[in-house]
Structure 1
Amino acid sequence: MSDYDRRAHLKQVHESRKAKTIQRVDESIRRLVKAKEGINFNSVATDAGVSKSTLYNNPEIRARIESLRQKQAQVSTPKQVKREMDENNKDAIIASLKRKMKKPEEENKQLREKLKFSYAEVYQRI
């Protein structure tokens, strides 16, 4: 029992916990990237089950999350692409609807003209 070194043991436990934490964070980041979800300190901390301060205090993890977050900010998300498509298609949809409205308007105009002639004929008969 005299050979027991408490400091060495604590250091070993600390290193083991640190390695497990880094492994969990790496797995979490891979899962989030695979699922195409947002990479940020909150999402990684929640998914990995670690505190945000752990992520901020580890320079390697912090740099990795910041770089991934920056890359994701540059790439358009599916929602942004859809919104842009909607904006681009809006004008085409409006033009199409206007064309569709012209046909019933023309028919309505022709029917009104026929109705005028019909009224004139009925009036002449009286």
Structure 2
Amino acid sequence: MARYNRTDHMKSIHSSRKAQTQRKVDEAIQKLVRAKGKINFNSVASLAGVAKATLYNHSDIRERIETLRDQQANVSHPEMLKYKMDQNNKDAIIASLQRKIKKIEKENKELREQLKMAYGEIYKKI
């Protein structure tokens, strides 16, 4: 009869749990990639059903999530393109509005002069 070795048994349990966690995380990341969801520690942890601390403590998993997160940050989304276009066009919009203000101020000045002339004509008739 072989002797029961508790240490070996605990090591085998630990390695099977680690493999199961790795599989869960891999599946969660694959689902997020397919769904074009945001990949970050919160989303992976909730989808995989593991604690965020687990993701942070395993350096290989942590590096993978950080890499994927950074890659997603560099990809231009339609919302980001619109934001960048808004930022790039900001100066053009400001210049356009300044021209419009000058035009309106000029018209306002001309109308005030015409009003003065009209008041003068009315005053002469009295």
Relative distance call for 1:56 and 1:113 in structure 2 (3 A) is: closer
Identity %: 54
Count of aligned residue pairs for this structure pair: 123
Q: Which amino acid aligns with 1:44?
A: V
Q: 2:99 aligns to what?
A: 99
Relative distance call for 1:52 and 1:120 in structure 2 (3 A) is: closer
Relative distance call for 1:94 and 1:11 in structure 2 (3 A) is: same
The CA distance in 2 between the partners of 1:121 and 1:104, in whole Å, is 26
> What are the superposed Cα offsets for residues 84-107 of structure 1, whole Å, 9 maximum, x if unpaired?
332222211112222333343333
Q: 2:38 aligns to what?
A: 37
Relative distance call for 1:67 and 1:108 in structure 2 (3 A) is: closer
Q: 1:65 aligns to what?
A: 65
RMSD: 3.3
Relative distance call for 1:70 and 1:102 in structure 2 (3 A) is: closer
SS at match of 2:38: coil
SS at match of 1:35: coil
Indicate if the aligned counterparts of 2:39 and 2:65 stay in contact, CA closer than 8 A. Answer: no
| 1:1-126 superposed matches below 5 A | 15-33=15-33, 34-40=35-41, 42-73=42-73, 75=74, 78=77, 80-126=80-126
The CA distance in 1 between the partners of 2:122 and 2:59, in whole Å, is 93
SS at match of 1:50: coil
Q: CA deviation at 1:68?
A: 2.0
Mean Cα deviation higher: 9-18 or 45-54: 9-18
Relative distance call for 1:15 and 1:107 in structure 2 (3 A) is: same
The CA distance in 2 between the partners of 1:29 and 1:12, in whole Å, is 26
